[in-house]
Chains A and B, each alone.
Chain A
């Protein structure tokens, strides 16, 4: 309850801060729409030359993209701001202040700031997802949706853990703003259905750098017959969560205040 209260206070503060600059608020919504459009454009253009890639037709890819956008919105709303500013937090020594607070440091670092702008975007992309599902030509059954939502939660958890690993690197080397950009590049492997990749790369995005579990596996299990990923995803997400916790605590031990 204590943590929920703290989180709600942080959310309120973030909301007020976002509303401070109204034009910027609206512009950011518009910019996100541009990002969604650009992501969609590549598949819309590719499918104007072919009807199927790796067994996925355009309608199925639209469902995949809807999932990607929804998950991205959730990530951006609750976590992204914190991780994007993490390098600055370390470099300026502000992390020291957070470490002295009587709450869990990982909680504070991960959820201190929110981005309420994405609440509006979430409504928008959920609308797109609904449109994509209703134009699929077949409606997945309730069990498929149950699996989908469970795997989506696992996907969000995997995303969080992977991002935390990168934050731990910053904790150790201090000045590495560009580590964030490296993460974004690697994350791009997860923004395409994993069936598109050759088998060795599929193994890589499921087991080594499991970005394939974030969006692709939930979408696959919703649209097609479930495979082993239905069990692998929850297992890996739990394992990663434990590892991420250890990595964070280990990183803190090696952290020598950057401000002193």
Chain B
């Protein structure tokens, strides 16, 4: 298998990726697509900061500015941060638990294509009459009033991409519950697997409210529904609730895997077991649980009344406790360790002060009466960028460096990696720290310009300069990736030398079936245990060498998704164009037809025979 794979032409490789159900290849696609959207979202961010670099600027118009901020937020959350994290979950989690793939490889592929087509659909709005302009929160009264098709693109695109995320989440849950290698008990799972598990559970419960909200919005805008139209008995506050019942757990869907990545990094580069493993697991679960109890803190100024506000204020403060536990456990992990400051570790070390700063401003906003001042001001903009960029994005950048050798058998340049870090890190604080004060000084968020008489000029300029630093950091990263890919120097096994978890024990490049023999897990940090006991292979096996059952590739997921993509255009132009309804029908027919084919046609997969395995020295 392996030798054949390497000689493929471009067409065959493309076909391979279009049809693949291999979690490692899907991970690469998530990373590539998410990375592309991250760059697009970043360009949007730069446009925002250019516009706000000076007062009364007219670099972009008022309407265009609203489209840019909406697309920046939506892209970064749904199309960049989450898919990239999904990429790492796909790449790493099955290897961490000793599985040959995820539980439902076909669904894994389907989830990816849904995300990608949803993202493409959303971004097509730029070329088809204008992007959504009601903010990433798309509050109902404004989103219903918004002219053109922007909001329709938002609702339909997110619905498609959201379905992909939902499918992915379920897949990860089932995988972790069912596919762990012998001996990999729950309390031996690496923290990244744990956080993937809890984040997936959050997806399971958080996405349905969004789905419902989006369907209501789709019906209201395209099919004459009146769920949110108050003149027809609807209610716009319902949207706010639905959105935030999804939206707040969404924050934890993003940050928990980030916590997982940093937990791995702190232990690995301190050469020390994660301090307080069981309390870290407990804190993760508790944060996930509490994450559903606090959505109304996004709505303190809506007028829910003092009792609701007080309850949600106190509940929100409670989240600080498990989060604080995590911070101190990380500190105590590096305490007494042997700290090696590699690029991933540099990100982890930068993460601690950044995230603590973002966390404490979160507590300040939990104090409802104070939030009346901070809400919808630049203070909140600063806060959530401290959490999302200072937490999630730093984790993503750390993971790019950390897992690149695992995914591609190449090491990114450490030198360039550190340059990226310093530009990005300094730029990040320069951009966002000062925004806290802009908020306190009375600057509302989402303003396309500001007058020069308000004392905000200097701080906005500083913020914009910071953004330029971040952009330079990202450009260096792109250069780093290109150089590394071109050079293509094999990194080999256990490239960070102190690998602790199972994924580092696998020979490089990782064979497409992951494990020749399923490993036996004998404790937390299983690879570390084997190494300490002098096991050169790095693994103890739970089974003799035997045939491996693998799933077949399939083109059906992409066809199924393409049907929805077509149907979405029909829905978008419903009531406006004659062909709308037929197109909806055609699209859904393609989707349902491919579902039928998938259901009726048996696909038993194939077996890799023992003899072939014995000859295979690894490779893709």
Pair from one complex: no
Residues of B near any A CB (own CB < 8 A): none
